Amino acid sequence: MKTDSQALRAVLALAALAFLAASAAGCDKIETLIRGHRCVLSDRDIHPDMAAEVAVEGGPSGRACCIRCAITYAQQTGKKVRVASVTDYRTRKPIAPDHAFYVTGSNVAPCVGPPMEATAGRRECCILGFDRCAPSTVAFASEQDAIRFQREHGGRIETFAELARSTGGRLVAAKK
Ligand SMILES: [Zn+2]
Ligand SMILES: [Zn+2]
């Protein structure tokens, strides 16, 4: 009987060790999972249909809440921001930033507090101070999707080159 309980204790000790090793290895993954939901530039929540993959020269890199946040970052810091991908608003798939069509200034602005749509048409409610994610810039893989979205939600259609120009060329499409 004594050997049985000794063997059991040994098995339990091994299991505990294995568990500790596994959770230590899992820490990094959990960490990135948690941070993956926050913008590396603004610490805002990331909406899955707005995310951009960015890398600041000599600065943070990872997922940003939206391309507008990256534009503001480039304008404010004067640093170069490489954009590896943006998200197609319709399919939520990552797309090459310089192949996307952007709608800027529509009434859809997921990063900016409560949906602005709720206050559309009520001027007194729309007065908004500076916000790093405004005007919103929504990306699309297809020009048709961008046009359809613009008809419904307003704004203007822009290319990546136009967005880059507004940062004095600091926003660049990362080469794969
Ligand atoms: Zn952000
Ligand atoms: Zn944003």
- Predicted pLDDT at 160: 98
Is this structure's pTM higher than 0.85? no
Q: Separation of 41 CA from ligand 1 center, angstroms?
A: 5
Of all ligands present, the nearest one to the C-alpha of 66 is: 2
Q: Separation of 38 CA from ligand 2 center, angstroms?
A: 10
How far is 163 from 160, CA to CA, in rounded Å?
5
pLDDT tens digit string along 156-167? 999 999 999 999
Q: Separation of 110 CA from ligand 2 center, angstroms?
A: 8
Cα pseudo-dihedral 117, 131, 38, 79, rounded to 10? 140
Q: Separation of 137 CA from ligand 2 center, angstroms?
A: 9
Smallest CA-to-CA distance from 108 within 57, 61, 68 is with 68
| Residue 151: partners with Cβ closer than 8 Å, 6 or more residues away | none
Of all ligands present, the nearest one to the C-alpha of 68 is: 2
- Could you check whether the bond before residue 135 is cis, i.e. omega within 30 degrees of 0? yes
Residues in the chain with pLDDT values less than 70: 1-5, 7-8, 10-36, 113-128, 176
Q: Separation of 67 CA from ligand 1 center, angstroms?
A: 8
Identify each DSSP E strand in the chain by its residue range: 52-56, 61-64, 81-87, 94-95, 101-104, 137-140, 156-158, 171-173
How far is 38 from 58, CA to CA, in rounded Å?
20
Residue 81 sits at φ, ψ, to 5 deg, of -120, 115
